[in-house]
Structure 1
Amino acid sequence: MNILFDVGASGGALLHNASEMDIDLRNVDVIVISHGHYDHTGGLLDALKIINKPTAIIIHPDALALKYAIKPKFRLTGVPHTISEIKKHGGRFLVTHDSVFLTDSVATTGEIKRETDFEKTPEYYMLIRGGKVAQDKLLDDQALVINHEKGLIVITGCAHAGVVNTIRHAQKIFGRRDVYAVIGGFHLIGASDERIEKTVESLIEINPRIVGPCHCTGDKALKIISDNFAGKFTEVRVGTVLNL
């Protein structure tokens, strides 16, 4: 099965990168959306045009809400396409709060339980649901989990739910504690020193064999994680291929 996990901020970037990496998007079987922010959903229409067949899109209901942020200034942050546009181009929504098994060994986390006391969602994210404005606690945030023979592989989009919460949730889904790799955005950019420190302490306890933070992790957190995971830290950039 070929899974496309998020589609980038724009179709131009997605199609260019896919071409450079010799990835044929026509072979995509299912799209998983980590959460409803524009930089993870902007390329959706262009992806669907290339896929050119009815394609399941696994997504949390809140990801389809109108989203915006009020700091550092007012800005729209949600999916930049309408539901009707997405459906018109072959998108078939599977909207759920729950974990979805794509194969026996690959699953989405679904909505992630918030357990840690240090992984808080900023209060400046907002959404409009049912005509009412509410704080967006980013409950739509989800990850992809692979139950690998070497241990769990956890792939995050932004980990707005907290990367530690995400890993713990993944462990419960498959009923195993050993984590082989955690890769993706850890959303520690702008985080307090305390949050970064507690995140690193928890990751050391979890003891993944590969740690590949990127995207919204932030330079400060990247340096600290790199220093604490010598021999395990993997630099992840656009075009990085990981053979796990």
Structure 2
Amino acid sequence: MSTRMTVLIDDTSSKSGLLHEHGFSCALKLPNGEKWLWDTGSTDKFLQNAKTLGFQPSEFKALALSHGHYDHTGGIVPLYKAGFTGPMYAHPEYCRDRYHVEEGKESRFIGLPPFTELDPMPKVHRVQGIHQLAPGMRMVTDIPRIKGNAQNINNFYVDPQGTTVDPVPDDSCLLLDTASGTVLLLGCCHSGMANVLTYVQEQAGVTKLHALVGGTHLLEASEEELDQAAKALTSLSVERVFPGHCSGQHGLAGLAKRLGDKVQGIGAGWSHHF
């Protein structure tokens, strides 16, 4: 049995008739038949796409969060209102205050939306380290930041004044053991590509990566940062790379320049069996 991934929302659309927005959400159908959600985008648009693609909120067993930024959590309240009753899995720091602060611009709150409209409140399982969520699926959190490796936390702070940097400690990813091989599903990769891949290699025993899917946060990466990301992927003999969301056209083109036809962009409606 294969593992099926379907992107419900992304910054672009891969199929006509689907909505897009700045955000990411992916539906997973595991070999045992369970359906899981990975993130919820910025708004309820992912639910509209899900309906178009044949998914119902009530059929998902659980929701796992890559981190607490609004473009991955903004659809949580609409999801529960639409009939989803499962628990959430997230790093303990997913609900911290967080702001985007940039010189010359007004600071913006970019954290988790309030759950005050929900009754009962969602059940949340706090995940740290590497934790098995389902057969063949592990959530990877607490990714160490190695000196010299790029990480993607520019302009992120825990206060609107921009005095305390937010290193996005809740940044997480999913490791899936599929019929095709090991697949890594990202949210935004704020920890940095080299740091994530080093961690899954050293702590999760990954020696070869069939595919990487999701946001790489390489949309404004330097040539050196793109080189580092490509080198890290090559070190695990990656076969396919499917960048989306915060990868941007710059990141997509940069990876394709270095890795060739292994790289293929994704958008809302993209679906693949692994």
Q: How does the TM-score come out when normalised to structure 1?
A: 0.89
Query: Are 2:197 and 2:232, in contact at CA under 8 Å, matched by a contact in 1?
Result: no
Question: Does 17-26 or 135-144 show the bigger shift?
Answer: 17-26
* Aligned equivalent of 1:178: 208
Q: Which residue of 1 aligns with 2:241?
A: 211
After alignment, is 226-235 or 26-35 more displaced? Answer: 226-235
Identical pairs, percent: 24
**Maintained 8 Å contact 1:116/1:165:** no
- Looking at both structures, which has the greater relative contact order when contacts are Cα pairs under 8 Å and sequence separation is at least 6? 2
Q: Secondary structure at the match of 2:158?
A: strand
**Greater share of helix:** 1
How many equivalent pairs are there?
A: 236
- Structure 1 residues 106-185: aligned runs within 5 Å: 106-115=137-146, 117-127=148-158, 134-185=164-215
CA 1:223–1:116 in 2, change beyond 3 Å: closer, same or farther?
Answer: farther
State the alpha-carbon separation in 2 of the partners of residues 213 and 121 from structure 1. Answer: 15
Aligned 8 A contact 1:67 1:77 in 2? yes
Q: Return the offset for 1:66.
A: 1.2
Mapped contact 2:66–2:170 kept (Cα < 8 A): yes
The corresponding residue for 1:100 is: 131
The offset of 1:213, in angstroms, is 0.7
- TM superposition score normalised by structure 2: 0.80
1:31 pairs with one of 52, 63, 84: 63
Q: RMSD over aligned Cα, in angstroms?
A: 1.9
Task: Tell me if 1:77 matches 2:107.
Answer: no
Cα distance per residue 1:132-184 (max 9 Å; x no partner):
x7310011100011022432100001000112322232334432311011000
1:42–1:81 Cα contact (<8 Å) kept: no
Residue type of the alignment partner of 2:229? T
Change (3 A) 1:167 1:51: farther
CA distance in 2, matches of 1:52, 1:59: 17
Q: Which runs of 5+ in 2 are unaligned?
A: 1-33
